[in-house]
A and B are shown apart, each in its own frame.
Chain A
C-alpha cells in the first residue's frame, strides 16, 4: 500500500505552500477542468448510490440464491452473483456505505489533528514549532500498516478504531504541509499588521490564515480519502473488518479470490469500483494542486527556414562567422514574440568582437543561436548564420554538435553553475580532451594538465582533483575556459564572462582571454553590458537595443564619436554603471520589452532627437565610413555622423 505512505511522505517532502487564494476559488478552478469534473461526478454518484442503497439495491445484500451461484451479469443480476448466489450489485452498493463512512472517519480525524497541530506550530512558532518538527520527524518513520495491525490486535476487529488510528498516523505528514503554508502566510505583511493592531489570535487564524491554507489542505484531504479507502479495503480483505456476511468491498474481493478458478469475473466489480474511487480522489488532489500552482508552457513550431527577401546582395566576405538578417522568436502568451530582428554581424578570423547592450536586449539569445542552443520553443525564424560555409540557422543537429567545441566554443556568465557539481575540475577538462582528440589515458591526462596550466594554474594537479564547490568563482571560470579550449576552437563566445566575479578577479580573466586570442589566433565574441570591458578588449563592437543592432563599427571611433543616440547615452552613463539590469541614468524611460516594440525606431520613446518620421516606419541601417553603420535617421546630429 505504497500509495498511502507515499502520499503522506511525499506530501511532507514536496510541501508547497499553496497559492490558491481561497477554497471556493480552488474548487471552482478544479471544476473547470474536465478531469476534475469527472472525478467529482464519479465520487458524487458513489456517495448518492451508497446512501440510497436500501432503495436502489435490487436485492438484500445477504439474500442467498443457491440456484444461481457464480452467474455472469444478466438481466436479473446486472453484475452477476457470487458463490452463494448473492447479487453483486446490491452487495457493492451496501459495501460502499461502509467504505465511505470509514474513509470519512479517517479523513475527519486526520485533518482535524493535522490542522490543529500545523496551524499552532506555524502560527506561533518558537518552541512549539521546534517540538512539532521533532515529533513529526519521529512519527513519519512509524510503519503505518503494521501499526494498524497492532491496534486491531489489541482492540479487536473494529474498523472504526483502525480508521481513527490511520488518521492519527498520517496526520504528521499533512500537518507539516499545513505548517509550511501557515508559515508563509504568517510572514506576510497584512498579517503582521493585523497582529500589531491587537486582533485576537483566534480571529486572525480563522479569518486570514485558514482561507489561505485551504488550498493545500483540500489537496491533502483528497489524497488521504483515497488512501483511507485503499486501507479500508485492504484490512477488510485480510478479514479484519466487518464480519461476513456483511458486505464490504474488501471482503467481496477476498470472497472472489476463493473462486478465481471458477468465476474470475467476480474480481472485476469491486476492484473497478474501488480503483476508480481511489483514482478519482487522487485526480481531484492533483487538479487541486495544479490550480494552486498554475503554470503554462507553450511551444513554438520548429524553426523553418524562411527565404530572405528584399535584401541587397550579400557582400563577399572573408568573415569567419557572418550573420545576415537574423530574426529570432520565442514562445509568447498568444503568439511567437520576436526578441531579435534583422541582425547582421560579422566576425573575422582572430578578431575580438564585442556585443554590447542592456539585459534583455537580445545579445545572449543571439550568441546561443550560433551554437543551436536556443531554449525550447525559440527558433531562428529568418536569416542565415554562415560559419565555414555552413548555415548554422538551418544546419542539422549532427552538424551543430560536430562544430561545438572544435570550431566554436562557449563560456558562460556564472562559473558557479557552469560546472557539473559531482565531477572534478580535472575530469571536466579531460572529458573534452578525450572527446576532441582521443588518445591514451596518459596523453589525455598530459594534455589536460597542459590546458589547466595555460589558463593560469601553475600547479594543475592540485586543481584537477577539486570539485566545483571547492573552487572560487575565478578559478571555476578558468576551468571553464580550459574546457572551451580543449577542442582548439576558432571562435570562442564569452557571454558576460566576468560579470559574476569580483572586480579584482575580472582583470585576470580578461587578460587571460586576450592572451589566448593572440597566442592561438582564436576569434572571440565578447558579450557584455560593460562598455569599459568592450573598449579594452575588442577591435570592433555591435551595440544592441531592444532586439536591433543599433550601431556597429570600430571600438575606437564609435566610442569616441557615437553615431546613434543610444550609444551616446550609454557612453554618458558608463562611468557610474557596473551592474547589469540597471536603468540608464542618463537616458530617461525604460527599454520596451519584446512584444511591445513600436513600428518605427525602437529607441524613439527615449530619444531626444526623435521626430514623427522616426516613429512612422522601420528605420533602415545607414552606412557611414566603413566599418561603421547606424540604425538612426538623424545620425548627422551626432559627432560620429558628422565625422
Chain B
C-alpha cells in the first residue's frame, strides 16, 4: 500500500515537471512571439526588446525553465506582465472561490448521486429512467449553456437569485450560499448522472453477489442488506468516481466562472489566455495539475481505507 502510494507520488511529481516544462517548450517551438502578441499591432522595436528582456524571452528555453522552476519551488510563480501582480498571490486569492464552488458541488453531486443510484438499483424503473434522462442531459448539454438557461429562468425571469458575482463566506453564509446556488446547481446537473449510474451499477453488482443471498437466506432484512452491506461494498469503487467527478467539475469551473463572473481560478485562466499572460497561465496549469494529483492520491488512500483487504495487509 505505502509502496504503491510512494510510486504514485513520484510519478505525480514528475507529471508536474513535465506539464510545466511543456508550456515553456511550446513557446520555443511556436513561430509566434508572446511579446508581439501582448504588444498588439503598433509598437516600437525598443518597446519590443524591452518587453522580451523583461519577460526573459531573450534567453534559451531551458534557462528560462530552470529559472522559473527554481523560483516555483520557493513558492514564487513569477509576476504577471499584464497586471504586474505576483502570480502566486493572485492564485491564492482566487483559490477559495473555486474550491467553495467545487467542494460544494462535489458534495451535493455525491449525495444526490448515491441516493439516485441506490434507488435505481433497488427500485428500478422510474428512478432508472430519471437517471438516464439526467445523464443524457448532463452529457450532451454544455455546462455554460445550462448555466445561462438557469440564469435566464431563476435570475432574469423570476428574480430569485443573483445572476452573477460572488461574495466571500465572511460576508455572511446566507449571502455566500445565494451566490453559489446557481453555479453549484449547474455543476451538479452536469455530474450527478454519471455518479448515479456508477453507484447503480456497483450496487447491482454487489447485490448479485453470493454473500447477499447468504444474508437474505438467514433473515437479514432488505433494508440492512442495502444500506449496511451493499452500500459499504459499493462505496469502494464509487470513491474513484467521486475523485473523477471532483476533477471534472474542477475543470468545468473554467466555463462556469466565466458565465457567473466569479473571481476564481477558472476565470483567471481564461483572462490570462486572452491576454497572453504566460506566467499566470503557467501558474494556473501547475496548480490544476497539483490538485488533480492530490485528489487522485486522496482517492487511493480512501480506497485503501474502505477496503479491508488493502488496509489490513
Contact = CB atoms under 8 A, between A and B. Distances in A.
Interface string A488-532: 000001000000000000000000000000000000000000000
A15 to B, nearest CB: 15
B190 interface: yes
A40 interface: no
Contacts of A264: 152, 156-157
Contact of B222 (A144, A401, A406): A401
B248 A420 contact: no
A309 B93 CA distance: 82
Interface string B272-292: 111011100110110011001
A436 B216 contact: no
Contacts of A484: 218
Interface in B245-268: 245, 247-252, 254-255, 258-259
Interface residues of A, number: 80
Given A143-B247, A146-B269, A153 B288 contact: no
Nearest to A486: B218
B26 A234 contact: no
A240 B152 contact: no
B51 to A, nearest CB: 16
A432 B214 CA distance: 12
Contact of A260 (B30, B152, B214): B152
Nearest to B221: A401
Nearest to B194: A6
A419 B214 contact: yes
Contacts of A153: 272-273, 276-278, 281
Contacts of A147: 19, 22, 285
The A contact surface, by secondary structure, is: helix
Given A253-B148, A264-B156, A271-B149, A141 B142 contact: no
Contact of A420 (B34, B143, B211, B270): B211
Given A142-B15, A261-B156, A470-B312, A271 B219 contact: no
A404 B281 CA distance: 63
Nearest to B307: A422
Among B142, B278, B289, B309, the most chain A Cβ lie within 10 Å of the Cβ of: B142
B187 to A, nearest CB: 9
Interface string A404-421: 111001111010011111
A44 interface: no
B216 to A, nearest CB: 6
B216 A373 contact: yes
A431 B220 contact: yes
A422 B232 contact: yes
Interface residues of B, number: 86
B244 interface: yes
Interface string A235-278: 00111100000000000010011001100100100110011101
Given A419-B211, A487-B219, A267 B149 contact: yes
Nearest to A401: B221
Given A138-B14, A138-B15, A421 B233 contact: yes
Interface string A120-154: 00000000000000100110011111110111111
Contact of B274 (A240, A253, A470, A493): A240
Nearest to B253: A145
B117 interface: no
A268 to B, nearest CB: 9
Interface string B31-75: 010100100000000000000000000000000000000000000
Nearest to B31: A155
Interface stretch (B84-92, B133-141, B167-175): B133-141
A146 B30 CA distance: 18
Interface in B194-220: 194, 209-211, 213-220
A507 B293 CA distance: 53
B213 A143 contact: no
Contact of B220 (A5, A256, A271, A432): A432
Given A153-B281, A230-B142, A260 B156 contact: yes
A483 interface: yes
Nearest to A2: B248
B214 A253 contact: no
A414 B213 CA distance: 12
B306 interface: yes
A361 interface: no
A156 B30 CA distance: 10
Given A238-B258, A240-B273, A435 B312 contact: no
A156 B144 contact: no
B11 A138 contact: yes
Nearest to B216: A373
Nearest to A414: B210
Interface string B220-235: 1110100011001100
Contacts of B240: 13
Contacts of B248: 1-2, 5-6
A443 interface: no
Given A154-B30, A278-B142, A421-B308, 11 more contacts: A1-B143, A134-B11, A150-B23, A152-B273, A153-B278, A240-B274, A411-B214, A412-B210, A431-B228, A435-B219, A469-B308
13 contacts: A2-B190, A3-B138, A138-B14, A150-B273, A153-B272, A230-B142, A275-B140, A279-B139, A412-B214, A418-B210, A421-B233, A423-B229, A435-B220
The 7 closest A-B pairs by CB, nearest first: A405-B219, A2-B248, A279-B140, A410-B217, A417-B210, A404-B219, A418-B214
